[in-house]
Amino acid sequence: MLVVFGPHMLKPEPIKHMKRCVMALYLTAAVFSAMANGEVVKVEAVGIENYSRLEGSSGFAGSPVGFGGATQPAAMEYLKRDGFATVISLRLANEEGVDNDASRTAAQAAGLQYINLPFDTDKPDPATVEDFLAVVGNQANQPVYIHCGSATRAASLWMIGRVLNDGWEVEAASDEAKMIALKPPAAIAFATTYLASHGK
């Protein structure tokens, strides 16, 4: 006897169940992906320009990670309350409005470590990039808040770390940098050139 199997032989319930399982797996993967990559969130904070937080990142810098532009000494207590252990400043001593000594004093008074890694994109020192990656990746310093004048240099060095330390593709890292930097093209241009010189 010939038995013909066709669509009329399939019961709808198993198919519906299968669809639900597939959808559940898809959603679970999406959640884990979001947790692994983190999400950049802009935050309004007194004394901090262009402040953003990266939540849920499983990358080399731990979680959370903060980024900002010009950051006033008075904002150090807020950063401590916001969960950070270390402030990393990329600002040069001769930049307008910069007072590294006052910022260091305020940070230490608030219970924060303060590390100044002056970074000039016009005359970039490769050693500073290496120091940045080492300092940010050191668990003893985490969670870290990284700032410059506009979060552009911060985003640029962060993008480099995403590619070299976390193994991200350049395009994905640049998309994240766009959400951090006040001047995304400048951030991405420097990082892309640096990464290209390192075979990325």
Residue 32 above 60 pLDDT?
no
- DSSP code at position 144: E
- pLDDT tens by residue, 142-170: 999 999 999 999 999 999 999 999 999 99
pLDDT at 60: 95
Q: Roughly how many angstroms between the first and final C-alpha of the chain, as a whole number?
A: 64
Q: Give how far the C-alpha of residue 151 lies from the chain's centroid of Cα atoms, to the nearest Å.
A: 11
**Residue 63, domain extent:** 38-193
Report how far apart, in Å, the C-alpha atoms of 23 and of each of 19, 35, 36, 55, 142 are: 6, 18, 20, 25, 36
- pLDDT tens by residue, 178-190: 999 999 999 999 9
Looking at the 3D structure of the chain, how many domains does it have? Answer: 1
Assign residue 184 the CATH number of its domain. Answer: 3.90.190.10
Look up the pTM and report it: 0.81
Strand ranges for the chain from DSSP E: 39-42, 52-55, 65-68, 86-89, 113-116, 144-147
37 pLDDT tier (thresholds 50, 70, 90): low
Q: Is 200 contained in some domain? A: no
Q: Is 179 contained in some domain? A: yes
- DSSP code at position 39: E
pLDDT at 56: 86
Residue 22 above 50 pLDDT?
no
Q: Is 30 contained in some domain? A: no
Residue 9 above 70 pLDDT?
no
